[in-house]
Homo-oligomer: A and B are copies of this chain.
Amino acid sequence: MTKTLDFYFDFYSPYGYLAHYKIDDIAERYGYQAQWHAILLGPAFKAVGSKPLLDIPMMGAYSAHDFARTARLDGVPFVMPATFPGATLAAGRAFYWLQDQDPALAKRFAKAVFKAAFAEGQDLLQVANIKAIASAEGIDAQALEAAIQTEAVKERFKTAVQASLAKGVFGSPFVMVEGEHFWGNDRIPQVEQWLARGGW
């Protein structure tokens, strides 16, 4: 049986975006499958008494520079989305609506959403953009729009966010493997070491 690791991310997290390029490859290299979980950083910031990096004195300017510098080192495109930060509700709801039907499709959609935001600078808060991203992945955009307005799908995402907090997820990206927690794109190399060695 394939072992699982859990990958938590906010669609508007620059470091989540950087990590999303790597996590599946690393997992598969060591016989794991990455289970993706969309979350919202807003409730996590509230839980730890923090706020979006760019809104923090000194750290904000540093972070903006660091996002782009790290992306260049990784060899991936990077721009800031048209609106930022924000609660990526439509994307998160759509992700779980898809995951409950077809997990592989949900993951492809999530990758497309990340690229729309941070490779193309799209505004994820516009439902029209989420629909267009979905359409390009062969998803019925009208059905998606209808679904994410239902209480059931709203509740699905809300429950997932609450469950992540209950498990100790306070940032993005955040990886859990065999009870071990790793926070941040910076910890992806440690995640890889952990999988390779079975801990240390």
Name the contact of A73 in the complex, choosing from B59, B171, B184, B200 (C-beta under 8 A): B200
Find out whether the CB atom of A190 lies under 8 angstroms from the CB atom of B62. Answer: no
Kindly state the interface size class of chain A when it binds its partner.
20 to 34
CA distance A50 to B70 in the complex (A): 24
Interface membership of chain A positions 129-162, coded 1 if the CB is closer than 8 angstroms to chain B and 0 otherwise = 0000000000000000000000000000000000
Cβ distance A95 to chain B, nearest Cβ, rounded Å: 23
Cβ–Cβ < 8 Å partners of A171 in chain B:
59
Number of copies: 2
Find out whether the CB atom of A184 lies under 8 angstroms from the CB atom of B186. Answer: yes
Cβ distance A45 to chain B, nearest Cβ, rounded Å: 11
- Asked if A183 is at the interface of the complex by the 8 Å CB criterion, the answer is yes
Cβ–Cβ < 8 Å partners of A48 in chain B:
56-59
- Asked if A47 is at the interface of the complex by the 8 Å CB criterion, the answer is yes
Answer whether A170 and B58 are a contact pair too, CB < 8 Å, given A186-B186, A190-B70: yes
CA distance A131 to B72 in the complex (A): 47
Cβ distance A6 to chain B, nearest Cβ, rounded Å: 15
CA distance A69 to B73 in the complex (A): 26
Cβ distance A184 to chain B, nearest Cβ, rounded Å: 7
Find out whether the CB atom of B73 lies under 8 angstroms from the CB atom of A183. Answer: no
Interface membership of chain A positions 176-200, coded 1 if the CB is closer than 8 angstroms to chain B and 0 otherwise = 0000010110110110010000001
